[in-house]
A and B are shown apart, each in its own frame.
Chain A
């Protein structure tokens, strides 16, 4: 257990509304990640962070923004949710050294 929590765990929202997902870790790891997973696909990287206020884009970053104002929290924001953003979102952290990642339980987001 890497001490990762995600909130909310489930959310249903309407198209066009803003949505923020939170990832919280308890162990001060430097690297944090947001992935999405859709049926028939592996996980795809949205954004990641390598320190407070240091973030970068992943493979599928369009329509998403992130913020990391303190080590333990990494926020993913959908400024105006679309149905194509219906997905399961996973947060992960990386320990130092050999790049191992540990994943949170996921947030299931449905945009109607």
Chain B
């Protein structure tokens, strides 16, 4: 079973920030939090990952709570092209267990 819990779906208005939550209450000290997205039927695309600290790249920001039991992926200015399924994965190895993710729909 996946080590993470995500809401099945969310909507976001175009141009607004999309905040996607993920619960991972059983995370271990050496496990990272990874985020991927899958647009339509394409292969999943890596977005960002973190261990303890908040992270930011050109695609998104990742906020990890101090106790590391949850995190939030932030897309600062969502566009229609951000409509996708977003997966949060916790792992400390080269093996992933995917859950069913959050289906984000960006509305015009």
Contact = CB atoms under 8 A, between A and B. Distances in A.
Interface string B9-39: 0000000000000000000000010101000
Interface string A24-52: 00000001000100001111110010100
A88 B91 CA distance: 24
A44 to B, nearest CB: 7
Interface size class of B (residues with CB under 8 A): 20 to 34
Interface size class of A (residues with CB under 8 A): 20 to 34
Contacts of A92: 43
Interface in B31-58: 32, 34, 36, 41-46, 49
A105 B46 CA distance: 14
A53 B5 CA distance: 35
Interface of A is mostly: strand
Interface of B is mostly: loop
Contact of A99 (B41, B44, B94, B98): B94
A107 B6 CA distance: 27
A2 to B, nearest CB: 9
Interface of A: 31, 35, 40-45, 48, 50, 58-59, 88, 90, 92, 94, 98-106
23 contacts: A31-B94, A35-B98, A40-B100, A42-B87, A42-B99, A43-B44, A43-B96, A45-B97, A90-B43, A99-B34, A99-B49, A99-B91, A99-B92, A99-B93, A99-B94, A101-B44, A101-B46, A101-B96, A103-B43, A103-B44, A103-B45, A105-B43, A106-B42
Interface of B: 2, 32, 34, 36, 41-46, 49, 87, 91-101
